Amino acid sequence: MTETDMMLRGYGLTLAEMFYHMPDHPHVLNSYIWQGYDIAPDHPKLFGFIEFWQREIDGPLHSVRFTHRRQIAAGEWRNVVGELRLN
């Protein structure tokens, strides 16, 4: 599925900033940025990635901040058939 198809089906761009403890230095926080197309309000891809992190990555998560924005909705998109060029 292309990005445009995903946006027309209700997907929006989700950006998450994850703060985690460094495995070798547990008192030091580091950040990781994750971005992908997801469906609000359930966010299955984001929560799937968080579950993967908790299962596979050594650095335990401290906190996660995220934002979600739908780029286009079905009512906002229109098909343009022609193009007018002015030189």
Q: Where are the domains of the chain?
A: 3-69
**pLDDT at position 70, please?**
83
Residue whose tokens read 């579950």:
51
Nearest to 16, CA basis, from 77, 72, 83, 63: 63
In tens digits, what is the pLDDT along the chain, a chain of 87 residues? 888 888 878 889 999 999 999 999 999 999 999 999 999 889 999 999 999 999 999 999 999 999 998 877 556 666 777 766 776
CB 6 within 8 A of CB 37: yes
**pLDDT at position 8, please?**
79
What pTM was estimated for this model as a whole?
A: 0.75
**Could you give the CA distance from residue 70 to residue 26 in angstroms, rounded to a whole number?**
36
Structure-token pair, residue 37: 């197309």
CB 37 within 8 A of CB 3: yes
**pLDDT at position 76, please?**
62
